[in-house]
């Protein structure tokens, strides 16, 4: 983890500007959110893994799956500013493939990035967040509560993030730290085309038609999906407005999908109750 001293990194003294740490700011939602917060006057530090030098905010090279690097990043933020008004856990990867064709190492890799890393970052940043009565923004997904074939590993990471965030909210609410889950639909970003596919893709010969559909959807997602501006606005709003709700589904019909899932679970509870009474 090493700071990249660029346009905004000369502000080395603590100041009254609001401070935000955004992970995964090389491109996509993370970069757009960071740039918008800079425009709003926030002091922004973004994590990157490449050699980006032209971003209008300070960057730090940090592998979010490196426990020691994450701990150093939390310490760096606290020692430099003494506070953190917001942590945006945006860094993430995708993985597609049926369970039968996924190697356990592939599944562990996505859980490490999408679930373990946000929990580790929250842990590392909580002292600075408490000092600012700050907020933790968890970038989840509609896949955090709604499932579809060949996305089981990705959904496991997001379902896990949702549960971890619910527990975290209960743990820190009395410390004046808020937690907000953003649940985007299929906005146009690079995560789909940069995502990992099962190394044993097609090895069973049982999921050909599903693979064709998923490959077409991933291409659509990256090239013709909805403009992510609505999602960026939702994330920025969750960062800057203290009345943001805990869960924010965002995108066309995404709120309706959450309502559908709620109704489905109520129906399942009714069916389970009837089954148990029949025993």
Residues noted as catalytic: 154
Q: Give the angle 50-55-59 at the CA atoms, nearest 5°.
A: 60
Q: How far apart are CA 48 and CA 51, in angstroms?
A: 8
First to last CA, the chain: 58
Spell out the residues 6+ positions from residue 122 whose beta carbon is closer than 8 angstroms to its own.
87, 89, 136, 168
Residue 221 CA, distance from chain mean position: 17
41: left (phi over 0), alpha (psi -120 to 50) or beta: left
Q: How far apart are CA 109 and CA 271, in angstroms?
A: 36
Please tell me whether residue 9 adopts helix, strand or coil conformation.
coil
């Amino acid at each position: 983890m090493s700071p990249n001293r660029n346009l905004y990194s000369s502000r080395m003294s603590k100041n009254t500007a609001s401070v935000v740490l955004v992970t995964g700011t090389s491109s996509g939602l993370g970069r757009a959110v960071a740039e918008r917060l800079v425009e709003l006057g926030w002091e922004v530090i973004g994590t990157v893994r490449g050699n980006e030098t032209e971003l209008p905010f300070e960057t730090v090279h940090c592998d979010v799956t490196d426990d020691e690097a994450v701990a150093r990043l939390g310490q760096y933020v606290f020692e430099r500013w003494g506070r953190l008004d917001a942590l945006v856990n945006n860094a993430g990867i995708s993985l597609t493939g049926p369970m039968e064709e996924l190697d356990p190492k592939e599944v562990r890799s996505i859980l490490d990035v999408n679930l373990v890393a946000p929990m580790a970052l929250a842990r590392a940043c909580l002292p600075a967040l408490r000092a600012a009565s700050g907020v933790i923004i968890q970038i989840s997904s509609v896949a955090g509560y709604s499932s579809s074939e060949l996305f089981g590993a990705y959904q496991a990471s997001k379902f896990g993030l949702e549960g971890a965030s619910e527990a975290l909210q209960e743990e820190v609410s009395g410390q004046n730290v808020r937690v907000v889950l953003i649940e985007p639909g299929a906005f146009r970003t690079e995560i789909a085309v940069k995502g990992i596919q099962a190394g044993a893709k097609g090895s069973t010969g049982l999921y050909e038609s599903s693979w064709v559909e998923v490959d077409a959807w991933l291409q659509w997602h990256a090239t013709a999906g909805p403009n992510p501006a609505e999602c960026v606005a939702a994330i920025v709003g969750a960062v800057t407005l203290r009345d943001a709700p805990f869960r924010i589904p965002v995108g066309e019909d995404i709120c309706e999908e959450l309502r559908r899932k709620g109704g489905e679970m109520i129906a399942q509870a009714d069916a389970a109750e009837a089954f148990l009474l029949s025993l």
